[in-house]
């Protein structure tokens, strides 16, 4: 058997391993070591007659215990014979053992873990077979971590009697359409850089969860715990790090994690988003045009029947035909097709609907709305039943798109106008603002 090889325990100092037992474990080891030392020393003292021929074994054991605790001179054990050596050994144990265990306790209390974990994991289920859990953490040290690796293990305690525990290594990725891997690796992790791993869940007959091979069945996600492990090396000191975090079932919360806006021009502590690091927010997009039509929206967001709409009012904007489609939909078409957009207006208000989405959906929406800029309108939008922790985005036409909408060649597609009208009817919205915007624009409607 080759020692010092692959098992991580063989490369971990003994005091460090003992510290993992916790305070009660350290105390039990100390008491057990004292008891063994006292009994062994008492047997030696009794056999050699150190305390005199009339001293009982019990008294000899108490004498040895006193030496181990430093309450008695070790030379009382005799000269440098067996009893004397035993007395010295007990005295040494009385000094070294507490110091050593104290070191384990101090390590337990003050051990350095550079990984700062988000206390809850984010569960996202858009209802279209893309349910997943996201785990978040960041490098809380002042050093870069190199060779960072992340693994996730799911575990489930059965209801059998006696109960048993099933574990399952999970496949991970870092975002939509990324390949699944057993382990996510990053070459470096800079200080304060928030990172995420994403764990897709399985779905069988409407039940979302984890498939455990040993149990040969799917366990609902709300009954599963997850152990996430991060390892790597601090580049400044060369020290290896290994950090683990257990997410219990009640710590996997529905919602979307808070993004951190990285700005290298200011210190990390000033980056926007840290105040909401622990929040799980609900994410929505505000639709005011073709997204109101569930059939149109489903081409980007998936199953139309799974989409959740709620009528809302956005302040500070008004509806306008001001998004000239200079690319994409207008390619191969004579003239410039114009779609609905928003324009800022201090006293304006725009009626539309919010749709519950995931962060993966944001990527799809960005690809759909290539002539628009995504903006955060969380503070200026209201609707009945809005959750406390939420983020709402919408799309505002880019400057080039606005300029294109003012071209003499600009027009509105009949198919697009009909899709928007159907969306207004589907969501039960008043068409007054749509009629007003159409009247102001005065654009011709063409069949293309």
What's the per-residue H, E or C state across 59-99? Answer: HHHHHHHHHHCCCCCHHHHCCCCHHHHHHHHHHHHHHHHHH
* Sign of the torsion formed by the C-alpha atoms of 171, 172, 178 and 179: negative
Position 53 scores a pLDDT of 65
Instruction: State residue 439 phi and psi, 5-degree precision.
Output: -65, -45
Position 9 scores a pLDDT of 32
CA distance 295 to 423: 9
Kindly list the distances between the CA atom of residue 24 and the CA atoms of 18, 30, 69, 104, 321, in Å, as whole numbers in the listed order.
Answer: 11, 10, 20, 12, 70
257: three-class secondary structure by DSSP = strand
CA distance 426 to 424: 5
CA distance 390 to 372: 22
245: three-class secondary structure by DSSP = strand
Position 7 scores a pLDDT of 32
Residue 426, number of CB atoms within 10 A of its CB: 15
Q: How many helices (H) and strands (E) does the chain have?
A: 9, 22
CA distance 348 to 384: 20
Position 104 scores a pLDDT of 62
Position 124 scores a pLDDT of 83
Position 62 scores a pLDDT of 77
Low-confidence ranges of the chain (pLDDT < 70): 1-23, 26, 50-55, 67-88, 90-95, 97, 100-112, 126-129, 326-333
Beta strands in 329-444 (DSSP E): 336-357, 372-376, 381-382, 390-397, 410-413
446: three-class secondary structure by DSSP = strand
CA distance 37 to 91: 10
Position 333 scores a pLDDT of 63
Helices (H), 147-251: none
CA distance 374 to 376: 7
Position 319 scores a pLDDT of 97
Position 329 scores a pLDDT of 47
Position 271 scores a pLDDT of 86
Residue 373, strand partner residues:
396
1: three-class secondary structure by DSSP = coil
């Amino acid at each position: 058997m080759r020692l010092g090889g692959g098992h991580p325990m063989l490369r971990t100092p003994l005091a460090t391993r003992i510290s993992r037992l916790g305070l009660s474990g350290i105390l039990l080891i100390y008491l057990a070591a004292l008891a063994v030392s006292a009994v062994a020393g008492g047997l030696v003292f009794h056999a050699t007659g150190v305390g005199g021929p009339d001293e009982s074994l019990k008294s000899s054991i108490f004498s040895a215990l006193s030496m181990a605790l430093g309450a008695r001179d070790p030379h009382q054990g005799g000269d440098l014979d067996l009893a004397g050596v035993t007395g010295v050994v007990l005295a040494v144990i009385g000094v070294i053992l507490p110091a050593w265990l104290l070191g384990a306790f101090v390590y337990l209390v003050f051990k350095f873990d550079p990984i700062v974990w988000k206390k809850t994991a984010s569960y996202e289920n858009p209802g279209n077979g893309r349910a997943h859990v996201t785990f978040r953490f960041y490098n809380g040290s002042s050093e870069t971590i190199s060779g960072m690796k992340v693994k996730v293990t799911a575990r489930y305690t059965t209801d059998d009697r006696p109960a048993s525990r099933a574990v399952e290594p999970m496949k991970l990725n870092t975002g939509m359409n990324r390949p699944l891997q057993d382990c996510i690796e990053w070459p470096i992790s800079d200080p304060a850089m928030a990172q995420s791993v994403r764990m897709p869940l399985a779905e069988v007959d409407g039940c979302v969860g984890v498939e455990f091979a040993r149990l040969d069945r799917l366990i609902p996600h709300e009954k599963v715990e997850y152990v996430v492990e991060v390892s790597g090396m601090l580049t400044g000191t060369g020290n290896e790090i290994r950090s683990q975090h257990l997410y219990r079932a009640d710590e996997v919360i529905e919602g979307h994690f808070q993004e951190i806006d990285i700005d290298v021009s200011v210190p990390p502590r000033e980056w926007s988003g840290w105040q909401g690091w622990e929040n799980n927010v609900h994410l929505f997009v505000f639709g005011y045009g073709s997204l109101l039509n569930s059939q149109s929206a489903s081409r980007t967001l998936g199953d139309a029947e799974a989409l959740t709409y709620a009528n809302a009012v956005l302040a500070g904007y008004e509806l306008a035909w001001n998004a000239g489609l200079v690319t994409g939909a207008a390619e191969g078409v004579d003239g410039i097709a114009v779609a609905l957009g928003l324009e800022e207006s201090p006293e304006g208000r725009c009626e539309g609907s919010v749709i519950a989405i995931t962060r993966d959906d944001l990527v799809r929406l960005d690809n759909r709305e290539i002539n628009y800029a995504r903006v955060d309108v969380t503070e200026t939008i209201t609707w009945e039943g809005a959750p406390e922790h939420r983020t709402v985005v919408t799309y505002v036409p880019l400057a080039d798109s606005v300029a294109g909408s003012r071209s003499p060649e600009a027009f509105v597609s009949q198919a697009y106008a009909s899709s928007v009208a159907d969306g207004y009817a589907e969501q039960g919205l008043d068409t007054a603002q749509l009629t007003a915007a159409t009247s102001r624009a005065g654009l011709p409607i063409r069949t293309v």
